[in-house]
Chains A and B, each alone.
Chain A
């Protein structure tokens, strides 16, 4: 598999867009060291580092957007979504402005840094806000497609991207669209709905299960809002149960959104949500150390599928 950093894919795609649009800006809250060097050189008038000031970061982006700009805002996912939550709510969402928040780092990207750097609740917080779209692309090609799609929106968006170098899962000619789950594999036994960089693990699990003659439908739910309810309902009706995989608290994220949809539709199917328990993960370790702890691995996904099929 070919690996590319999602963050690199983001900057490359935004740079392409900026070449055609002098009203496209990038703001950073003093993070992303070296990542924006080329952009800044090519578009000095469309770039600003506001310093370590996330509240101001969002309000300034709003002011620019109210002056005809489309603004990509970069910071680490935790700092971007929590410190300025009210600015995101009032300045961006209430005023409904084209400001696109790019959160650097999946839950355990900064695995040795402690929970201050672990985005655990960002999907939940962002999902609550009207006008906001919420995304966690599963591979670098989804990053590129979603960047192009959010740019067409005149409303705010939050995209959480990983940054360690992520495998390309999609074929280059796959159609990837904001708000529509991407079907990576089809099957009739169990549906695996996956958010973000767990896509590669989920694919690995699905390939292994197929060898045991279990055929899974694998859906990349890169967009948590607007939610592809049609794909959820079809998966629930056409397969024997759902496994939702996300690097997020089990509360409030994609798993919750899926459960809400099923309840509202009156559909009763087994659902297992693989995510972070309601606790602050303790200590320090590698990314894999934490992912393994919460079953966010191919083995964890296989175990969940087998559990629904009573094969465990």
Chain B
């Protein structure tokens, strides 16, 4: 039920993952500063999850991004798009020069991911509550075709306010789609306030269990915990898995961490150097 059982990963690998995460975070900060764009904090909080997926868990290949038997990843919380782009750059799916154009006229990359814009993006998102249904369809296709591909869908906590999310949660449990994995970026802050004040999700675990999902809870910034549970899919036969990852919004940029304003804050180009020094 929790991530206390840690998989042993070598110190060297752990250090590599941390380096990738740091580079991705620095790219998020500098790209958004150059573009003057917002949604920085929402792009930072899932970075460690994305790094764990793309550098350890997902069966994907930047050289063959459309292999039908690949694992799929959907960023259902599309407003974290910049975080995904920076990780896709780090993993070699897309060239870094695309980030340099981010936010400029004619850039192929919008704030929210668009299918087909660049390799590695599996679904168009941006309106909350669409990603899990699409992921369910993909997981179902893999099952019925007797393929081994798995589908990982990253949801924001606030996305669990959407009725459409729960339509898919119920159906996935009913269909026993144990190749479907949801990861919740549970940073506990939404647009207009704290989750517990706006629309409390607790008891969150119980909601998933009641819908016949297997549940794990982890610290979403600890690679040992993330990888330990992500390597162990399905957590339970005949059940989809949800990983409730406790995260910090704006993680890695101290002045933005755990603030509600972080949702709308941008970084002035003049402050970029100072911000980059702070990134961890």
Contacts and interface: CB of A to CB of B under 8 A. Distances in A.
The answer to whether A and B assemble together is yes
Contacts of B127: 86, 90
A94 B124 contact: yes
Contact of A66 (B138, B144, B167, B170): B138
A121 interface: no
A56 B138 CA distance: 13
A131 to B, nearest CB: 12
A90 B46 CA distance: 24
Contacts of B140: 48, 60, 63-64
B150 to A, nearest CB: 13
27 contacts: A48-B140, A50-B167, A53-B167, A53-B170, A53-B171, A56-B136, A56-B167, A56-B168, A59-B133, A59-B134, A59-B168, A61-B137, A62-B123, A63-B123, A63-B134, A63-B136, A64-B140, A65-B137, A68-B68, A68-B141, A69-B141, A90-B127, A91-B124, A94-B114, A94-B115, A95-B115, A95-B124
A206 interface: no
Given A59-B164, A66-B137, A87 B142 contact: no
Interface string A47-78: 01011010110111111111111000000000
Contact of A63 (B129, B141, B164): B141
Contacts of A61: 137
A182 B219 CA distance: 63
A278 B61 CA distance: 55
A35 interface: no
Nearest to A22: B145
B168 A45 contact: no
Most A-side CB within 10 Å, residue of B68, B135, B167 = B167
Interface residues of B, number: 31
A51 B174 CA distance: 11
Contacts of B144: 45-46
A51 to B, nearest CB: 7
Nearest to A97: B115
B170 A58 contact: no
B81 interface: no
B136 A66 contact: no
B134 A62 contact: yes
Interface in A194-212: none
A245 to B, nearest CB: 37
Contact of B130 (A46, A64, A90): A90
Interface string A95-136: 100000000000000000000000000000000000000000
Chain A binding surface SS class: helix
Interface of B: 68, 114-116, 122-124, 126-127, 129-130, 132-142, 144-145, 163-164, 167-168, 170-171, 174
B68 A87 contact: no
Contacts of B124: 90-91, 94-95
A56 B171 contact: yes
B135 A63 contact: yes
A55 B170 contact: no
A84 to B, nearest CB: 8
A15 B132 CA distance: 29
Nearest to A62: B134
Given A55-B163, A86-B127, A60 B142 contact: no
A69 B68 CA distance: 12
A59 B137 contact: yes
A58 B133 contact: yes
A62 B133 contact: yes
List the 8 closest A-B pairs by CB distance, nearest first: A63-B137, A59-B133, A67-B141, A56-B167, A53-B167, A55-B164, A63-B134, A60-B137
Contacts of A45: 144
Nearest to A50: B171
Contact of B129 (A50, A51, A55, A69): A55
A284 to B, nearest CB: 30
A62 B164 contact: no
Nearest to B168: A56
Nearest to A89: B127
A46 B132 CA distance: 20
A65 to B, nearest CB: 8
Nearest to A27: B137
Contacts of B135: 63
B32 to A, nearest CB: 24
Contacts of B170: 51, 53
A91 B264 CA distance: 26
B134 A91 contact: yes
Contact of B123 (A55, A56, A66, A68): A66
A270 B122 CA distance: 50
Nearest to A86: B127
A262 B68 CA distance: 47
A292 B254 CA distance: 70
Contacts of A65: 137
A43 B269 CA distance: 59
A51 B139 CA distance: 18
Nearest to B162: A55
